[in-house]
Amino acid sequence: MVNKAKQKAAQHLAVMAYKSLQENPEAGLPKLLKLFDVLDTKDSYKSGRDFIRTILGDPSNTWYRYLLAIWEDVDSEVRFTFFQTFFLNSLLKGREEQRLLREEHQCNLPWAILVDPTTSCNLHCTGCWAADYEKGTYLSYEILDALVEEGKNLGTFMYLFSGGEPLMRKSDIIALCEAHPDCCFLAFTNGTLIDEAFASAMLRVKNLSVAISIEGDEAATDERRGKGTYAKAIKAMSILKRYKLLYGISCCYTSQNVQTIGSEAFIDSMLELGAKFAWFFTYIPIGRDAVPSLMVSAGQRAFMYQQVRSFRKSKPIFTMDFWNDGEYVDGCIAGGRCYVHINAQGDIEPCAFIHYSDSNIYTTSLLDAFKRPLFQQYKERQPFNNNTLRPCPLLDNPEQLREMVHASGAVSTDLASVESVDDLTAKCDQASKDWAVSADRLWEDHATSSVLCV
Ligand code: SF4
């Protein structure tokens, strides 16, 4: 009780302090950090706070330049809303609530929920499982709204959309953002449906950002996503930049485009277009029509490991590799440990890349789903490898996913075609062995103890 009151008072102070920053961020940020020290009662984000404190002392630091760019390029109200929804609600308030609930219920509770509002997509990308989905499966607005409400009661204030193409449902997404101003929303999108009207709606609701899919240069993007897609994505970024919105990119690196996506020239071009963050995903051969030859080799994955770390030192953009950055989050974040995925049919899956489930939102509450065998298997086994550069139960430790699915009785929830866990994991067996050699070498050379996702 005392802690709650203390947190509320500190949150109020943090908002006041933030407002005072508007004019002079350089002087105000250290004060704001002091308030975060008070708010972070369990020191869950101590390493992050220490890191920010270090960069504030060095104006030539890349991250210092990044913070100033956020101040200059992003609309002040959008920035303030992000501060409230992302930092105060999802990272501090939500995670503290979840710490207590996790102890009470003895299950994982996710910091973020990734949901597919629809299977429909206006593109047909090579190797994308969503391209094989039957069109027209979707979650109604009422179901999405109830899901967010249920999530908030479990301390989840971060919601991400994938698909299908989530912006096929853009009016419902905007309505959700409006209905839940205390939450932070992000849509992974191909960007082709972003226009002036949508940017204007984003500016009005303030709590939605987008990650636009880019496969590298124009030729590579159009090759995989269809002719003209790159130009439309670039146009979307120019609109978002003009409206001073927060946006970034999402890049799937494959054996074919890894040299381009990992190049300095590519990151520089995205910076020029105003991207403030970049998510990197490696190609995973999920589904009947997967193309295993698109998987990167161990050498190519190691190249991305080095490049992303080099970008962090030199480029003012937040970069995150969904696999190679396992060391910062103590391994796999799925299975409700940090996040969970709900497909357009309502199946509650551990991760967007793991299409197996033993529960569905139409018949099971989220809390009950997290207590069921599949999510309990995740909880008991995480991290899946002591070397958290080998975090994944599919890509890096395929025997783990095989055992979890068999032990839990989870079934295939792939919307294109049923795929047995044995068939799926067999496609990753060799890649996991190859990567183990490189990852173990990297692990010996450099391992960080920084844990951001608790
Ligand atoms: S299951 Fe694999 S892809 Fe999903 S969060 Fe865990 S490590 Fe990442």
Based on the structure, what is the number of domains in the chain?
2
Of residues 78, 89, 70, 86, the one with CA closest to residue 29: 70
Q: 333 CB under 6 A from ligand 1?
A: yes
Asked if 47 and 81 sit in the same domain, the reply is no
Average pLDDT over residues 316-337: 96
Dihedral angle sign, alpha carbons of residues 279, 211, 269, 243? negative
ipTM of the complex: 0.96
Least confident of 36-45, 134-143, 278-287, 303-312: 36-45
Confidence of residue 454 (pLDDT cuts 50, 70, 90): very low
Q: 393 CB under 6 A from ligand 1?
A: yes
Asked if 40 and 93 sit in the same domain, the reply is no
Domain boundaries, position 165 = 76-454
Asked if 80 and 62 sit in the same domain, the reply is no
Asked if 118 and 227 sit in the same domain, the reply is yes
Asked if 308 and 390 sit in the same domain, the reply is yes
Pick the residue whose CA is nearest to atom 5 on ligand 1: 334
Confidence of residue 68 (pLDDT cuts 50, 70, 90): confident
pLDDT tens column, 184-222: 999 999 999 999 999 999 999 999 999 999 988 888 888
pLDDT tens column, 124-171: 776 666 655 556 799 999 999 999 999 999 999 999 999 889 999 999
Among 51, 73, 95, identify where a domain stops: 73
Asked if 15 and 42 sit in the same domain, the reply is yes
Asked if 189 and 59 sit in the same domain, the reply is no
Asked if 194 and 320 sit in the same domain, the reply is yes
pLDDT tens column, 405-414: 999 999 999 9
Asked if 361 and 395 sit in the same domain, the reply is yes
| Measured distance between the N- and C-terminal CA atoms of the chain, rounded to whole angstroms | 22
Pick the residue whose CA is nearest to atom 2 on ligand 1: 392
Give, for ligand 1, the residue of 281, 353, 378, 390 to mutate: max count of ligand atoms closer than 8 Å to Cβ.
353
- What number does the ligand 1 atom closest to the CA of 322 have? 8
CATH number of the domain residue 301 falls in: 3.20.20.70
